[in-house]
Amino acid sequence: MRNTFIIEIISTLLVILFTYTAVSKLMDLPVFRDQMHNQEFPKWIAGILIMALPPTEIVTAVLLIIPRARLTGLWFSAILLTLFSGYITLVVAGFYRRTPCSCGGVLKSMGWNTHLIFNLFFLLLTCFAISICNRGRRNQPKN
């Protein structure tokens, strides 16, 4: 019972995070598009990310809402947060010459170090929720 509540709280936080970032990007799509094309990676990657990121964030949020799909949503969250954190780690390490932030809303006002800590915090929460789900599945009686 307590574990279910913890998973629901973490899932709710992730739903808010991914919905907020997706909606922020979509509401200011021309700016998001310009920021992505201003990144140091190849333009074709920017094009794919422009088309894929907001829908992927929305799908992740929807999966987290549906109890039967929640574990899949948590895995999507872990993958997205790992990729975002990896990019930010490269930025912090000075790997890129210029580093425009293509984040949405309030996240774009964070410094890179703060943003990395923010993402790692959510990644840890996600991994914790996945471990609780997996532990619960192992403890279920076999049919």
The pLDDT tens digits of the residues spanning 23-79 come to 999 998 998 898 888 888 788 999 999 999 999 999 999 999 999 999 999 999 999
- Establish if 143 belongs to a structural domain: no
Residue 142 located in a structural domain: no
pTM: 0.89
**Cα separation, 13 vs 29, whole angstroms:** 24
Show the domain range for 73. Answer: 2-136
- The answer to whether position 111 is within a domain reads yes
Residue 110 is assigned to a structural domain of this protein: yes
Handedness of CA 119, 122, 124, 130 (dihedral sign): negative
Residue 21: CB atoms within 10 A of its CB come to 23
pLDDT per position as a tens digit, 76-125? 999 999 999 999 999 889 888 777 666 666 677 788 899 999 999 999 99
Total structural domains in the chain? 1
Residue 141 in domain: no
